Structure 1
Amino acid sequence: MRIALADLSQHRTKLFPFTLTRPIGDLRVGILTIKEKWEKYLDQPVEFLTVAELTPKFAPQNQTIDLVINGTLCPNKDLVLAINELDENQTLYYGDEFLAARGAIHSLDAAHEAATFARVSFEGPCTSIQRSWDLFTHNKEQLRSDFELLTENRISQKIEDPHTIVYGEENVFIEEGVDIKAAILNAEDGPIYLAKNSVIQEGATIRGPFALGENSRINMNAKIREGVTIGPNCKIGGEVSNSIVYGNSNKAHDGYLGMSVVGEWCNLGADTNNSNLKNNYDTVKVWDFETGDFINTGLQFCGLFMGDHSKTAINTMLNTGTTIGVCSSVFGSGFPPTYIPSFSWGGVGQMTTHRIDKAIETAQKVWARKNIKQTEVDEKILKTIFECSTKNQS
């Protein structure tokens, strides 16, 4: 059976800046991406149905899909059972929300194409990532769920270092090649998962639920609070709380990151700090790419949303609910705007448009550090984002 996660039109823009460079199903929440979760539950490969500008990089291998699933959905046993019980030419809905369709689907607009299918209702629990802040608000529950999924009937590697202190050892799972020295791991209130060849250096203190990606490193004396996910190939220092850092990004130095999501290939300069609580304790407003205005999240705690390839300089201060687009470089004294469009260059009172050729050149250098070669497809995605961003700002 050919299965795909669809980027439904009503969801993708609401998840910018992260879905500017990836399908919704490639978002990471918990330990795994949404796609990886479905592949674990269904025990077979899952593809993407996404927009034209991303299709060259994330193209489905088949013209016709037999089962289409809403890309915002995180699977659970009840939902998977309901989808598996669908007959040919049936769709599954949660209220008015399209969940899945079984039958021949040829286009991205799966819900419209399946409109003639028989409708089946689902009334069980359902986690859907429809806004960027849903990533960190659901991260703790998804960390616990993914931990069970990845560790069931498996035996963890042992911690050999005599100077590392572990609380709740039964909730700690360590893959092969992990290196830990003189750290404190507290998994009493949530699991801790350490992927292959990850490193935790001396003096680091970590509270679960927490996940560290493959080949990633927690630096000396770092303080990692509950609900943190670090993707693969990252370097993390300072203090981090209830946040997700995607793969190949670094926050290597002191500074606070809380209630935030940082994309791939990003770098936070030394002593970069973000606020996640307003001084008047009011709810936080963030930029909405769909309406082109700020909207209320309804959250009292909400930090930073940073798109792929963006950077901050040393001592950068980011206000509550700041959104930074793709390929932006933020520097200078004071608080920059709480919305910084893609390909911006500067800070308070000195924001200009970053040249696309320079942005691509920087991306090439960053990728080369990880022994990854930038492709024409990657360049075209960045150029498309640049053209759309500059058009919207003019």
Structure 2
Amino acid sequence: MNLIFFDTPTQHLDLSPLTLTRPLADLRIGILKIAEKWKYWFSEYFGNQDIKVSFLTPNYLSTKFPLQHDTDNFYINGGLLPNKEITRQIFQLFHNEVISNEQHLLAARTDKIFNSYEALVEGIPVLQQMNEDITIISQLWHIFEHNRNQIIADFEMITKGRKSQPITDPHTIAYAKDNIFLEEGAVVKAAILDAENAPIYLGKNSLVEIGCIIRGAFALCEGASLNFGAKMRGDTTIGVFSKFGGEVSNVVVQGYSNKAHDGYLGNSVIGEWCNMGADTNSSNLKNTFKPVSIWNYRFKDYINTEKLFCGTFMGDFVRCGINTMLNTGTVIGVGANVFGADFPPKFVPDFAWGGAAGFVKTQLDKLFETASVMKSRRGQTLTKEDKAILTHLYASS
């Protein structure tokens, strides 16, 4: 089986800056990335057959996220979150049929080769309507908005038929132990784990240090850690190999990012390879208690989220200096470096360098140098594919 995930041009821009450096289906929500969820459901449906995954992306992303065709291809909207019934309906498509709802093209099954979203839309005329309720990620805030339900769904899926590693630390207090799952190598020290209302998942080789308080729904992914005294208020995912501390509520961290010190972060989505200096704080509620507006890359203007709580959206390779204050509904573009006193603007463009006093464009070679150091600390390298993507975005910014 060959799964190909596509983003519509609208989704690609509406979910920027997160989708500037990856396909939508490569985003993490809950415990897993969207593409990983689909691979699981198709494996379940077909009895653990080999499921191939690739992406139909803008050209500049295609080297890192290549497209692979086969004789039986399922093209799936990268923002569509799977479940059993949706998987069943997509699998039952005949060849050269499309399924959609009123707003979105959702999936297609075909033996044809399509190298763009536009060709896919024009090339398969037979249309079905999705008759299941769906959840589709089409705006930035949808990621934290649906994170609780996705942690719960992924937890059930990942832990089904498996036994958790035991909590061996005598000083850790665990409420509703049956709703807590530790993968191999997960370590907990003198923490409070409250899973009475939603599950807590601690991934392989993750670490919860002394004095942490965690409330479900919560996921600490592989290799990630919580620093001393961290307060995780629930509906939060800390992505792979990230290091987090302070007070965090309803936040999705994609991976490899740090907020090691005190400071509040709520109702936010953080990309990969980001670093927030000590006492970085993000507002998620306006003093007027009015809905929050955020910058939108498609309209090049602010749009109303209609959300009362909305914090920060941060693209990849963003750095924030010590004591950074981020206003409600701040969007920070790829490769930006934010520092200085007072609040920076609510929209910080890609590769901006500065703060409230103004910005200049960062030097690309300096960004490469810093990003290489960041990646080396996680045993990785800044690849030529990474550099090509950042170079393309830099030239377009």
Calculate the TM-score normalised by the size of structure 2: 0.96
- Superposed displacement of residue 113, structure 1: 3.6
Deviation digits for residues 342-361 of structure 1, max 9, x if unmatched?
11111112311111111111
Quick check: 2:2–2:70 contact (8 Å CA) kept in 1?
no
What is residue 310 of structure 2 aligned with on the other side?
302
Deviation digits for residues 184-233 of structure 1, max 9, x if unmatched?
00001111011100000111000000000111111111100110001111
328-337 or 349-358, which deviates more = 349-358
Distance 1:121 1:280 in 2: 42
What is residue 140 of structure 1 aligned with on the other side?
148
2:388 maps to 1:388: no
What is residue 380 of structure 2 aligned with on the other side?
372
2:105 maps to 1:98: yes
- Superposed displacement of residue 72, structure 1: 0.8
Cα distance 1:345–1:237, how it changes in 2: closer, same or farther (>3 A)?
Answer: same
What is residue 124 of structure 1 aligned with on the other side?
132
Distance 1:251 1:369 in 2: 15
Trace 1:249-264 onto structure 2 (pairs within 5 A): 249-264=257-272
What is residue 79 of structure 1 aligned with on the other side?
86
* Match 1:210 to one of 218, 226, 232: 218
2:203 maps to 1:195: yes
Cα distance 1:38–1:79, how it changes in 2: closer, same or farther (>3 A)?
Answer: same
Residue type of the alignment partner of 1:166: A
- Superposed displacement of residue 170, structure 1: 1.0
Residue type of the alignment partner of 2:191: A
Residue type of the alignment partner of 2:144: F
Quick check: 1:107–1:113 contact (8 Å CA) kept in 2?
no
* Match 1:112 to one of 109, 121, 142: 121
2:189 maps to 1:181: yes
Quick check: 2:41–2:87 contact (8 Å CA) kept in 1?
yes
Quick check: 2:96–2:124 contact (8 Å CA) kept in 1?
no
Deviation digits for residues 143-195 of structure 1, max 9, x if unmatched?
11111110111111110111100011111111001111100000011110111
Q: Secondary structure at the match of 1:74?
A: coil
What is residue 171 of structure 2 aligned with on the other side?
163
What is residue 34 of structure 2 aligned with on the other side?
34
Residue type of the alignment partner of 1:226: G
Identity %: 47
* Match 1:361 to one of 357, 369, 372: 369
119-128 or 256-265, which deviates more = 119-128
Quick check: 2:97–2:124 contact (8 Å CA) kept in 1?
no
- Superposed displacement of residue 96, structure 1: 4.2
What is residue 5 of structure 1 aligned with on the other side?
5
Quick check: 1:101–1:114 contact (8 Å CA) kept in 2?
no
- Superposed displacement of residue 95, structure 1: 2.6
- Superposed displacement of residue 329, structure 1: 0.7
Deviation digits for residues 216-266 of structure 1, max 9, x if unmatched?
111111100110001111111000000011211000000001000010000
Residue type of the alignment partner of 1:238: G
Quick check: 2:69–2:113 contact (8 Å CA) kept in 1?
no
Distance 2:219 2:383 in 1: 30
Q: Secondary structure at the match of 1:231?
A: strand
Calculate the TM-score normalised by the size of structure 1: 0.96
- Please provide the CA RMSD for this pair: 1.2
Residue type of the alignment partner of 1:208: G
Residue type of the alignment partner of 1:262: I
Trace 1:304-323 onto structure 2 (pairs within 5 A): 304-323=312-331
Distance 2:105 2:113 in 1: 14
Distance 1:379 1:64 in 2: 33
Q: Secondary structure at the match of 2:241?
A: coil
Residue type of the alignment partner of 1:290: R
- Give the unaligned 5+ runs of structure 1: 390-394
Q: Secondary structure at the match of 1:260?
A: strand
Distance 2:96 2:355 in 1: 53
Equivalent residue pairs, number: 388
Deviation digits for residues 304-329 of structure 1, max 9, x if unmatched?
00100001011100000000001111
2:251 maps to 1:243: yes
Residue type of the alignment partner of 1:383: T
Quick check: 1:105–1:113 contact (8 Å CA) kept in 2?
no
Distance 1:150 1:60 in 2: 27
What is residue 392 of structure 1 aligned with on the other side?
none
Quick check: 2:114–2:120 contact (8 Å CA) kept in 1?
no
Residue type of the alignment partner of 2:182: I
- Superposed displacement of residue 63, structure 1: 6.9
